[in-house]
Structure 1
Amino acid sequence: MVKPIYKSNDATELLRYAESILLKMTTNSDLFPEPVPSLTTLEGHLNAYRDAYAEARFRDKRAVILKGQKGKDLQETIYRLSHYVDAVAKGDEAMIVAAGFSFTRPTTNRIGRTPQAENLRIENVQVGTGILRVRVKPWKHARLYQFEYRKKGTEEPWTSILHSNSMLEVRDLEMMYTYEFRVSYLGTDTITNFSDIANALVV
């Protein structure tokens, strides 16, 4: 069954793709009455990324970092919208196109659920920075990697980050606290299958 494509190859393509999705889903709101996330959310992330993209052209380091952060927010919104469109369209190519998405056909009929993420490792990038580098064994069928973390020994909800790479740097962590991490591959079935939890002390 065909699926909506949610990945973009570069910053310019991401902007154009998000603009197309916003325009088409607004125009065809009768086909997509209750999108999740909302189109207001998509528009907000699109505008924020467009502004950050323009500022980053001057190659200011902070602006470039901000562009990356806003790009991740926009990409995650498109990813979540693709699930909504997939559920509504049920493989109908015309419906997917009406939402502004491109689509892909599966090349193989791979059976079985997403495997458990393996070999989760965590290390301090540099003492005193509050940054931990998290790695997991790559999986060639992964569309995205879902990283989650929280302070160890608490009942706080997990903070979730979707990333296209098997390595992620988590920033702004509190010094001398131990955090616990878990990671899941996200494949074509989008079912999470988290790794064993690993802990790390921020120093």
Structure 2
Amino acid sequence: MSLYRIAKIIVSTLFYPLYRIKVVGKENIPTKGPVIICSNHISNLDPPVIGITSPRVIHFMAKEELFEKTFSRKLLTGIHAFPVRRGMADRNALRTGLKILKEGKVLGLFPEGTRSRTGKPGKPLAGVGFFALRSDAVVIPCAIKSSYKPFKRTIVTYGEPVEMNELRKQKASAQETADTIMKEIKNLLNLS
């Protein structure tokens, strides 16, 4: 059994009762082919929560500093995370992300690039638009509503795919595409 599978079982057993997780729209995630799951980012607990609520294995970007120590590097690599240098265009991370999508896998991204200090979604970075435009991936917006207080309800909503054909036809920029994706996440936050 893979480390990812073991981690998913352990985290699910702990998190589902502790945070009373409710999942909405899981059926919107395609069962095969490349997918980008784009979520708001309110806590360090977001990646494991998306990991346990998604029916598919997710590959997340994680800040490079987390890969410096041998133990955390092995753990993160074992759960399919890969490093990204923040604050600059990291070509290696971009290449890795595109390779994951080309192989028909799932890439998990937080469009803002960092946690929101206010809990409200901020301005997205262009990177998410780059991946959406440069791949054939289905883009699924995701909204997490949670205080992450024990026994308080956490709602994870997966929305319908973002319409990418129109954006490609209009020759939308990476930033315009990122803004469109973030708008869909905000809509889910208001509706879920």
- The two structures share one fold, judged by TM-score above 0.5: no
Measured against the shorter chain, the TM-score band is under 0.3
Between Structure 1 and Structure 2, the one with more helix by share is 2
TM-score, normalised with respect to structure 1: 0.23
TM-score, normalised with respect to structure 2: 0.24
Asked which structure has the greater CA Rg, the reply is: 1
